[in-house]
Chain A
Amino acid sequence: MGSDFYQQSILPFAGIIIKICRAYTHSQEDFEDYYQEVCLQIWRSRDNFNAESKWSTWIYKVALNVCLTHLKQRKKGEQQFVSDALPDEVHDDAKAFGSDELNLLYNAIKHLSEIDRAVILLYLEEKSYAEIGEIIGANTNSIGVRITRIKERLNKFIQAQE
């Protein structure tokens, strides 16, 4: 990957990738692998980007697809490059960033299903329902209800932890 491409087209959006990858990984090693894989996929699929949506939306899509694909592969036992830690066992040794509250929230998010994780991450990133629908390929009408349900689950989890 050209360093120019990385510097100009990925690095300014690194926060998006980091936030998503953190929600789908349970160790620092996995996190770094997923991050790098997302970057590579963005570079590989850069020609498929059409300017109809924002570049940041494209990055969300690629990041989520990479994370979901690798989780699926791992579940099938075809995992290629990350360690053998089970995805659904939350034992987060990823380098913590942000406040304790944020880490608590991440921990709660990791207990959600893969798709619910994507939905809530996009919601927290203040994406519109239409954009969330576009990114995850779901019906916009169902997003609101889904978010309410997810938030209830998160709140319950967080309350139980406090």
Chain B
Amino acid sequence: MSKSIEAMWKQGFVSEGELSAPKVNDLYNRKSQNIVDKLQNMFAVNIKAIVIGALVMLVVMSLIGAPWLGLYICVLLAPLVLIARKELTKSHNLSKGQSSLEYLESFDTWLKNSMDTYSKYYRFFYPLFYIGMVTQGLASNAGGKVMALLLKHYPTEYVLLEIPGYVWAVITVLFLLVVRYSEALYRLDLDIIYGRQFKKLEELITDMRALKAQ
């Protein structure tokens, strides 16, 4: 080797003009497309997971002797799959012929509308899911034995369908809680799965708005 690395470095940059800077204009375009792609992929995977989950639930429930509950859950989840597919198609139909910021903003608007649509669905899903689980629990042999045991140890004159009144009271209170907090449950669920990506999306939009305002 004829030259030291210091000389190679120094002489290599003798012509500083060769260090031409790339244009700073395309990063946000790519970033915005990437975050949208990532979220859309996650939504698509989620739809598949729901379908597979529903089928697995049907099989598992059938195996443990509760095929009707399995079927009931499948029926409950079917509208979710349809809604999710419809919503995802809407997101794919968003116009890409806009600036990155406009595109992200329209995606964000779609996301919020979509979440509102899901919220409406989950307001029914969680209470109905709860009713299905409770019904199955009470109708099962194990449930019957538990009720008999309860009546034996805590007898009461208020009994309906062989279920003590206090159990009905607990079931009702829980039902009201599920109804009251079904939307919060959905938001929590959403936050666990997508929270990080949503935050990134928000940050990106804030950043781009700040850049635009400069």
Contacts and interface: CB of A to CB of B under 8 A. Distances in A.
B24 A36 contact: yes
A73 to B, nearest CB: 12
Q: Determine chain A's interface SS by DSSP, over half rule.
A: helix
Interface stretch (B25-33, B68-76, B102-110, B180-188): B25-33
Given A102-B12, A105-B9, A17 B21 contact: yes
A151 B3 CA distance: 13
A109 to B, nearest CB: 9
B16 interface: yes
Q: How large is the interface on B (under 10, 10 to 19, 20 to 34, 35 or more residues)?
A: 20 to 34
Given A1-B214, A81-B27, A162-B1, A102 B34 contact: no
Interface in B173-203: none
A1 B211 contact: yes
Interface stretch (A54-62, A85-93, A133-141, A152-160): A152-160
Contact of A99 (B11, B25, B30, B214): B11
A76 interface: no
B33 to A, nearest CB: 9
B207 interface: yes
A32 B26 CA distance: 9
Q: Determine chain B's interface SS by DSSP, over half rule.
A: helix
B157 interface: no
A35 B21 contact: yes
B8 interface: yes
Interface string A122-162: 00100000000000000000000000000100110011001
B134 to A, nearest CB: 42
Given A1-B214, A36-B24, A158 B31 contact: no
Which 5 residue pairs spanning A and B have beta carbons closest together?
A102-B12, A98-B12, A36-B27, A14-B21, A2-B214
Interface of B: 1, 3, 5-6, 8-13, 15-16, 18-22, 24-27, 30-31, 34-35, 207, 211, 214
19 contacts: A1-B211, A1-B214, A15-B13, A15-B16, A33-B30, A35-B22, A35-B24, A36-B26, A37-B27, A39-B24, A44-B207, A97-B20, A98-B12, A99-B8, A99-B11, A102-B9, A151-B5, A154-B5, A162-B1
Given A33-B30, A35-B24, A43-B211, 14 more contacts: A1-B214, A5-B214, A14-B21, A19-B19, A40-B24, A40-B27, A80-B31, A80-B35, A81-B30, A81-B31, A97-B20, A101-B8, A101-B12, A124-B9
